[in-house]
């Protein structure tokens, strides 16, 4: 399970950190910070509008929830696991019995792709290479017939 807390950086003693304002930060079930996701959101906070950052954080939270629910860590991920995440989104059924809208699936995959691409560049996903990163794209959603 992933917990999200809006952290207010305005009280920081570091001037450039104060610029973050309030941004979501993630913690695992043991309340340990999810360092990679938190760092990614702090970097994105420098360039994204608050509403866009909130949306991106929601998509990352969905992805991290899936990763940790499957018993994985980010460092375990490879391109096959990401395909499994896309497949899970395509087959997800809401409480009303309907699947997720294509736009929702695409948005979640896009957010997860941005995060994973950044994680690869920073060395957080040791089983994904830069070459495989080119295969981690939102366009993979369109290849699934269930959407």
Residue 102 has pLDDT above 70, yes or no: yes
Domain annotation for the chain: domains and CATH numbers: 3-143 (1.10.150.130)
Question: Comparing C-alpha atoms, which of 47, 44, 81 is closest to residue 59?
Answer: 44
Distance separating alpha carbons of residues 145 and 89, to the nearest angstrom: 12
Distance separating alpha carbons of residues 82 and 67, to the nearest angstrom: 9
Q: How confident is the model at residue 147 (pLDDT cuts 50, 70, 90)?
A: very low
pLDDT digits (tens, 9 = 90+) for 111-146: 998 999 899 899 898 887 666 555 555 554 544 444
Q: What is the mean pLDDT of residues 73-88?
A: 86
Cβ 102 vs Cβ 147: under 8 Å: yes
DSSP letter at 75 equals: G
Question: Which residues does 58 contact at the CB level (< 8 Å), separation at least 6?
Answer: 111
Helix, coil or strand: residue 119 = helix
* Segments of the chain assigned E as strands: 3-8, 22-27
Which pLDDT does position 5 carry in this prediction? Answer: 94
Helix, coil or strand: residue 39 = helix
Question: Comparing C-alpha atoms, which of 121, 107, 106 is closest to residue 36?
Answer: 121
Distance separating alpha carbons of residues 90 and 29, to the nearest angstrom: 26
Question: Which residues does 119 contact at the CB level (< 8 Å), separation at least 6?
Answer: 36, 40, 74, 125, 128
pTM confidence score = 0.84
């Amino acid at each position: 399970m992933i917990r999200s807390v809006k952290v207010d950086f305005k009280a920081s003693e570091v001037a450039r950190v104060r610029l973050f304002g309030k941004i979501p930060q993630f913690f695992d079930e043991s309340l340990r910070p999810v360092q990679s996701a938190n760092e990614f959101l702090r970097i994105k906070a420098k360039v994204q509008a608050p509403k866009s950052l909130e949306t991106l954080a929601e998509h990352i939270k969905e992805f991290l929830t899936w990763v940790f629910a499957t018993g994985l860590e980010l460092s375990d991920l490879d391109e096959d696991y990401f395909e499994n995440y896309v497949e899970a989104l395509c087959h997800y059924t809401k409480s009303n019995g309907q699947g997720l809208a294509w736009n929702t699936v695409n948005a979640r995959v896009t957010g997860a792709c941005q995060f994973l691409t950044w994680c690869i560049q920073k060395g957080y996903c040791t089983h994904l290479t830069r070459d495989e990163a080119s295969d981690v794209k939102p366009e993979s959603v369109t290849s699934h017939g269930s959407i």
